[in-house]
Amino acid sequence: MKCRVCNNHIEPFISFGDMPIANGFLLEKEFKDEYFFELATAFCEKCFTVQLVTQPDPNLMFHDNYAFFSKTSKSMQSHFKEFANWIIANYLKNKDPFIIELGSNDGILLENFLNNKIRHLGVEPSANVAKVAIDNGINTEVAFFDNNFANQALLKNGKADAILAANVMCHIPDLNEIAKASKKILKDDGVLIFEDPYLGDMIKKISYDQIYDEHVYIFSAISVKNIFAYHGFELIDTLPQETHGGSMRYVLCKKGSRNVSENVSNLIKKEKNLGLDKLSTYKQFKVDCELSKVKIKSLLKKLKNEGKKIVGYGATSKSTTILNYCKIGPELIDFISDTTPIKQNKYTPGMHIPVKPYEYFIKYNPQIAVLFAWNHRKEIENKEKLFIKNGGKFISHIS
Ligand code: TMP
Ligand code: ZN
């Protein structure tokens, strides 16, 4: 296959086998028509980008029934408030600034700009999540951000001071189009700021569940620098984040328009030490994933044989990769509790474990909870003090 960014020939370094849509929670009557594709990842030795080999049609993933609502977690809400304040303090110094957010979901980030009376536009392809934002007064258009959209938005609103994206850039297959459209719509001193799950964390933690249909890319500073350099952008800052099990915030601008922070060269040095620029690192990652799979599966089997009541906590998108790669189904996990109404009383994609409202977790009194929302571990352990006090254990493939 060809690299999506630079057209170089690339080969997959890992396949997770047949995978359903990560957020495709479904009813029993839909089992027979469930869609599967091969989830495999490749590394480009020219632009150093880690990417999916094939991705399902975006319309299968981002539609009117999209199951991911950002506002489900308190810690994410405070993260986005801090993110907005940081942008305002550092990058919105022009008079009457205007910002655009790609994939603005339910408005979790933009509401902070609305509260500060800052001109904003959210671009969100999934109508149901966009509606939540619109109902809260956030200026949102149901669309994919592309060249056409940029042209229209430019006519309507003029140039932007900042383009923002949180856990969205890694979802977009054609980054060259995004870079071109962003260049067109940004002011000369405008910035492109985005954060996404970080490749360095994924390799260190063996958190292979970051890989699923929506995440076309798992970025590093080395890859982001290269991808956007092809379009005249410069990576000027990088800031590690705790969200989503380890993320990185990237700040880019038109080359030469702003100073470059030392953070960038320091991070790139670290990435080279970790081997993020070498294929051998990804070959080792594959071996690590196989070991991780054997470990979690045998632990669950052992606990089940001991007669333990096992449930899952958080029917995350990431859990679809774990469950289908490790072939863990309802014979090992009785149900997964989740606070998102649209997922409840459906089944998990592929392995068909029932998803139940949070109250089931409390009533069922399990001994073991597989923490699929491991990226929210602190918040959840705080909330579930009673479960832990009564001898309940959270387990996860992430140690
Ligand atoms: P995320 O890891 O992609 O943010 O998804 C979190 C999922 O976990 C979402 O479906 C909501 C669910 N969840 C719970 O059920 N209980 C919780 O306490 C938290 C934080 C999340
Ligand atoms: Zn490439």
Distance 45 CA to ligand 2 centre (A): 7
CA angle (64, 244, 67) in 5-degree steps: 15
Cα distance between residue 109 and residue 388, in whole Å: 33
Residue 69 pLDDT: 79
Q: How much is the pLDDT for 246?
A: 97
Give the mutation target among 319, 339, 371, 381 for probing the ligand 1 site: most ligand atoms within 8 A of CB.
339
* Cβ neighbours for 385, distance < 8 A, ≥ 6 positions apart: none
Is the entire prediction scored with pTM above 0.85? yes
Q: pLDDT tens-digit profile of 101-158?
A: 999 999 999 999 999 999 999 999 999 999 999 999 999 999 999 999 999 999 999 9
Whether 40 contacts 12, CB under 8 Å: yes
Q: Whose CA is nearest to atom 6 of ligand 1?
A: 316
The answer to whether 322 and 1 have CB atoms below 8 angstroms apart is no
Provide the 8-state DSSP code for 2.
B
**Domain spans in the chain, listed from the N-terminal domain onward:** 10-52, 70-259, 281-395
Q: Which of 209, 316, 348, 380 to mutate to test the pocket of ligand 1 (most atoms within 8 A of CB)?
A: 316
Cβ-proximal residues to 129 (8 Å cutoff; 6+ apart), any chain:
66, 68, 69, 70, 105, 106
Compute how many other C-beta atoms are within 10 angstroms of the C-beta atom of residue 95: 6
Strand partners, 50: 43, 218
Report d(CA 241, CA 51) in Å as an integer. 21
Whole-angstrom Cα distance, residue 184 to residue 316?
A: 36
Q: Do the domains 281-395 and 70-259 match in fold?
A: yes
Residue 294: which residues within 8 A CB-CB, separation 6 or more?
Answer: none
pLDDT at residue 373 in the model: 96
CA–CA distance, 299 with 208 (Å, rounded to integer) = 18
Q: What is the CATH number of domain 70-259?
A: 3.40.50.150
Q: With a cut of 50, which residues of the chain have pLDDT below it? A: none
CA of 49 to the centre of ligand 2 (A): 6
Residue-wise DSSP of 17-39: EEE--TT--B-GGGGGG---EEE
Interacting residues of 226 by C-beta distance below 8 A, sequence separation 6+: 5, 6, 47, 48, 49
C-alpha 27 – ligand 1 centre gap (Å): 20
Contact 370, 398 (CB under 8 A): no
**Which residue minimizes the CA distance to atom 8 of ligand 1?**
314
Atom of ligand 1 nearest to the CA of 375: 2
Query: Which residues 6+ apart lie within 8 Å of 359 measured at CB?
Result: none
- Residue 64's pLDDT is 80
State the Cα–Cα distance between residues 124 and 202, nearest whole angstrom: 27
Q: What is the pLDDT of residue 62?
A: 79
Pocket of ligand 1 (CB under 6 A): 72-73, 314-317, 338-340, 373, 375-376, 379-380, 383
Q: In the numeric block, which tokens belong to residue 392?
A: 């309940």
Q: Whose CA is nearest to atom 1 of ligand 1?
A: 316
Q: Considering every ligand atom, which ligand is closest to the CA of 3?
A: 2
How many separate helices (H) and strands (E) can be counted in the chain? 14, 16
CA of 340 to the centre of ligand 1 (A): 8
Q: How would you label 134-167 residue by residue, b for 16+ Cβ within 10 Å and e otherwise? A: beeebbbbbebbeeebbeebeeeeeebbbbbbbb
Domain 281-395 has CATH 3.90.400.10: no
Beta strands in 260-337 (DSSP E): 310-313, 336-337
- Cα distance between residue 370 and residue 209, in whole Å: 14
* Contact of 90 with 154, CB cutoff 8 Å: no
Nearest CA to ligand 1 atom 12: 314
